Structure 1
Amino acid sequence: MNQMTSVTPLGPSAMLKKQAASVEFRNVTKRYGSVTAVDSVSFVIEPGQLVTLLGPSGCGKTTTLRMIAGLEMASAGQILIGGRDVTNLSAADRDVSMVFQSYALFPHMSVLENVAYGPTVQGASKKDAVAMAMEKLSLVGLTGLEKRAPSELSGGQQQRVAVARALVLEPQVLLFDEPLSNLDAKLRRRVREDIRELQQNLNLTVAYVTHDQEEALAVSDRIIVMSNARIAQTGTPRELYEEPADLFVADFIGDANILTGAVVDLAGPQAHVQIDRLRIELPHRGVMKGPVKLAVRPDAIFLDETMAQPNAVSGTVRKASYLGTQIEYEVESPIGELFVVQYGRKEPIAPGTPVAISFALQRGVAIIPGA
């Protein structure tokens, strides 16, 4: 998949100086017979950025990643890497490396042999291949484990071997296909931090596929949300979370309560929105007067069991779940059934308790355009 132009090993400082490459899709489509897996998709991954392709199963994200790699060929459109048109080039001619979901390590080879395999196949001498492999194993923190078989490693260590094997050919672009799906929750957090740190330290251009919203928010410079073979929205993690473009993105990126309100007045960039007894001011995001949908994040809802807040919506706690760092509630109210999260509270509000409901207006509440 990666064409090696030199057998001289590069140290970390040299890799830091290596020019990162951009990735660009121009109206790219992929069809399998009558099925369109990717439908006229356009985007740019800037050099040195980690961009995540995020979406539910079947949305086209993995097919898009495989087209960057050259493992699938586009049916229409143009793909450029570092400004060079690679649309019709094979995987071997694209200078990219991919870390697969299964890691795809050779079970009969040692860790060192797995990582040195690529340079060896590309024509490096055994001495140079070993030197390159040892350096990349050091980069990912596996020095001392060179002689072990993959079966003797933990899941996180196997993942690092797969990353070292992808890095050893020093690609212009590094691709990850659901790299953490085989790891438990605690290990996923640690390994995603390792991947992000490595990407930033080495100034790598990375395209990263996942269906896990939390993972995408944690590692990405930008996120491309895909739905039904098309791009639903592109933006920074904060933009997608706080300013969803439509109902799908609002519901898919984190949890959101989708509520109905009405814009009663517009004043410059702000809209005055009425939701039952609540009257709030929000960026209007291009909507006009009349009914609107709002995305309200669970931690942007305040519950007051003293019922002291004026002009609040009245509700009743139906369910409370203690989760250590947070308490989750299901609350019945005139504006709908609400999912609410409270942090830092030790004792939950008891089910059946009447509560006054209000919103945090500085974050977590947004009008959804076009909904």
Structure 2
Amino acid sequence: MMKSGPASVEFRSVTKRYGAVTSVDDVSFTIAPGTLVTLLGPSGCGKTTTLRLIAGLEIASEGRILIGGKDVTFLSAADRDVSMVFQSYALFPHMSVLENVAYGPTVQGMPKAKAHALAMEKLALVGLAGLERRAPSELSGGQQQRVAVARALVLEPQVLLFDEPLSNLDAKLRRRVREDIRELQLKLNLTVAYVTHDQEEALAVSDRIIVMSNARIAQSGTPHELYEEPASLFVADFIGDANLVDALVVEEREERALVRVGGLDLDLPRRGATRGPVKLAVRPEAILLAGAKPARPAIAARIAKAAYLGKHLEYTVESPLGELFVIDRVKNEPLVAGADVWLGFADRDVTIVPL
């Protein structure tokens, strides 16, 4: 099992520069031992550089990095008790699955028989017992991913790192493998830092999420906190495809506010907003469409595009609030492009975003 148990990871004002380009800018966070924390954000936001800084594949220009309370800022990758699962898996094609997994301990000087026994133990752990003699090319994408995980686990690291681990898999397999990774992390009590640009993936596997934008942390918190209480328009839009609409706080009611949007009045958590213009983040599922005018106040709109996706319907709606993206999971009678509709809002998933 783990040599010394899972470790915390701490960044203290870490900056990474490449010449004039700042890739990570004054970033501070802590990953608690035995938790899975996802670094989430669009391409170029600094998340992969942050992961490489934990791994020791990059060295910080400023600040301090601690693993298990030990300052590792200037230690090389080889001297850190960390393993990384790369996006490409980086398996050796000429070696069997067993040889791939046993490679790390063998290189570190472990006797071959012991390294193979340890490799077999980790292959069983990831559900690949019986496939140890195969070549990587004889495995499916999901199985190759598991070999890469077993190879990282065999070193029994204090911290396990994943760089976009599901990007080479098809949609159905992605869900299964992300569940496997989460299950393994919980079962083995591993500290995991996980990089992705896929917000659904991040919401599904994480204890906490660190959302990055332009080399800085935009917000960090639990999946629930980030989805329900985005701290900025960027986070609201990046997590959950929110529609961002203009509204007006017409009355402050202690912790709540009366908000007017498109002629409708909504009672919402105030989130520090004061009287005057605000932005609302409206989740696609929070917009309710009706073909006939309902009894309660509603906004006249028109369907611009309609798509049937099996489990739900997706609409692009032209409205006085602008173009809105709507998901209908109730699967009412499908509406067609060009149809006049009325829209209202659900009681949840409509949030004032602090400006």
Q: Structure 2 length normalisation: TM-score? A: 0.98
Encode CA deviations 1:52-76: one digit per residue, 9 max, x unaligned: 1011111100000000000000000
**2:335 corresponding residue in structure 1:** 349
- 4+ residue runs of structure 1 moved beyond 6 angstroms? none
Counterparts of 2:295 and 2:228, CA distance in 1: 25
**1:215 corresponding residue in structure 2:** 201
Structure 1 counterpart of 2:168, from 182, 186, 202: 182
Query: Is the Cα–Cα contact under 8 Å of residues 70 and 90 in structure 1 kept in the other structure?
Result: yes
**1:368 corresponding residue in structure 2:** 353
Structure 2 residue ranges without an equivalent (≥5)? none
Question: Which amino acid in 2 is paired with 1:157?
Answer: Q
Alpha-carbon offset, residue 309 of structure 1: 3.2
Question: Which amino acid in 1 is paired with 2:349?
Answer: G
1:171 counterpart SS class: coil
**1:36 corresponding residue in structure 2:** 22
Alpha-carbon offset, residue 82 of structure 1: 0.7
Structure 1 counterpart of 2:309, from 286, 310, 323: 323
1:71–1:26 CA distance, 2 compared to 1 (3 A): same
**Residue 152 (1) aligns with residue 146 (2):** no
**Residue 252 (1) aligns with residue 252 (2):** no
Counterparts of 1:270 and 1:18, CA distance in 2: 48
Structure 1 counterpart of 2:257, from 271, 287, 291: 271
Aligned pairs, how many?
Answer: 355
Query: Is the Cα–Cα contact under 8 Å of residues 309 and 356 in structure 1 kept in the other structure?
Result: no
**2:89 corresponding residue in structure 1:** 103
Structure 1 counterpart of 2:156, from 151, 170, 178: 170
Alpha-carbon offset, residue 254 of structure 1: 2.0
Counterparts of 1:108 and 1:350, CA distance in 2: 55
**Residue 123 (1) aligns with residue 123 (2):** no
Question: What value does the CA root-mean-square deviation take over the aligned residues?
Answer: 1.2
Encode CA deviations 1:255-281: one digit per residue, 9 max, x unaligned: 111100000111111011000221001
**Residue 203 (1) aligns with residue 203 (2):** no
Counterparts of 2:295 and 2:100, CA distance in 1: 63
Structure 1 residue ranges without an equivalent (≥5)? 1-9
Structure 2 counterpart of 1:224, from 183, 187, 210: 210
Structure 1 counterpart of 2:220, from 234, 244, 262: 234
Counterparts of 1:25 and 1:172, CA distance in 2: 16
Counterparts of 2:20 and 2:338, CA distance in 1: 54
**1:25 corresponding residue in structure 2:** 11
Question: Which amino acid in 1 is paired with 2:139?
Answer: L
**1:46 corresponding residue in structure 2:** 32
Structure 1 counterpart of 2:63, from 57, 69, 77: 77
Alpha-carbon offset, residue 200 of structure 1: 0.7
Alpha-carbon offset, residue 314 of structure 1: 1.4
Counterparts of 1:216 and 1:367, CA distance in 2: 23
Counterparts of 2:70 and 2:240, CA distance in 1: 36
Alpha-carbon offset, residue 313 of structure 1: 1.2
Counterparts of 2:315 and 2:106, CA distance in 1: 57
Counterparts of 2:83 and 2:149, CA distance in 1: 9
Alpha-carbon offset, residue 18 of structure 1: 5.5
Alpha-carbon offset, residue 349 of structure 1: 1.3
Question: Which amino acid in 2 is paired with 1:146?
Answer: E
Of stretches 21-30 and 350-359 in structure 1, the one that deviates more from structure 2 is: 350-359
**1:86 corresponding residue in structure 2:** 72
1:130 counterpart SS class: helix
Counterparts of 1:117 and 1:75, CA distance in 2: 32
Question: Which amino acid in 2 is paired with 1:180?
Answer: L
Counterparts of 1:78 and 1:18, CA distance in 2: 22
Query: Is the Cα–Cα contact under 8 Å of residues 73 and 88 in structure 1 kept in the other structure?
Result: yes
Counterparts of 1:319 and 1:106, CA distance in 2: 47
Counterparts of 2:20 and 2:93, CA distance in 1: 39
**1:287 corresponding residue in structure 2:** 273
**Residue 57 (1) aligns with residue 37 (2):** no
Of stretches 45-54 and 300-309 in structure 1, the one that deviates more from structure 2 is: 300-309
Question: Which amino acid in 1 is paired with 2:281?
Answer: A
Q: Structure 1 length normalisation: TM-score? A: 0.94
Counterparts of 2:351 and 2:120, CA distance in 1: 50
